Amino acid sequence: MFGKGLMNGLRVTLGHLFEKNITQQYPEEHPKLPERSRCSFQLDSEKCTSCGICALSCPNRVITVDSYKYENKKKHLSKYEMQLEYCLFCGLCVESCPSKALKVTSDFELSAYSRAETKLTLFSSNSQEELR
């Protein structure tokens, strides 16, 4: 029959015409992300013991942890950086953190104009230079 495809197309279109819109107006409305979405990272520097297990568990080696020892031979965190352009967002670093200092956030706006801007510095301290 001539026009059978056209009739099927019109039937599908009319079926969707009266459904609820699912388009979100992004900049004005932020989307509701699922609970377990992995977008960005947050570090609680007071909980961090500078052990470096998170850096060792990362498959792409994007985490850099710098630390120094103070008088009592205890490590103190001086710098924590992540190169997000190479990050897989697998969450292995968060799972392996023994002190639960590293967490995943739902901040998904990570775009940048250059690669240099994709480096995420979660903690940086000049306290080592102040002690000297």
More confident residue, 51 or 72: 51
The closest alpha carbon to 106, from 44, 42, 29, belongs to 42
pLDDT in tens, 18-65: 888 888 888 888 888 888 888 899 999 999 999 999 999 999 999 999
Instruction: Choose which CATH entry (3.40.640.10, 3.40.1170.20, 3.40.50.970, 3.30.70.3270) describes domain 44-132.
Output: 3.30.70.3270
Instruction: Give the chain's radius of gyration (CA, Å).
Output: 24
- Sequence spans of domains, the chain: 44-132
For the record, the structure tokens of 25 come out as 């107006």
99: Cα separation from own chain's centroid? 19
- CA separation, residue 8 to residues 4, 67, 98, 102 (Å): 6, 66, 58, 53
pLDDT in tens, 106-119: 888 888 898 888 88
Q: How many CB atoms lie within 10 A of CB 40?
A: 18
Reported pTM: 0.73
Task: Mean pLDDT check: name the lowest of 59-63, 90-94, 95-99, 128-132.
Answer: 128-132
For the record, the structure tokens of 44 come out as 């609680």
78 and 90 Cβ atoms separated by less than 8 Å: no
- Predicted confidence band of residue 72 (pLDDT cuts 50, 70, 90): confident
Phi, psi angle pair for 21, to nearest 5°: -70, 140
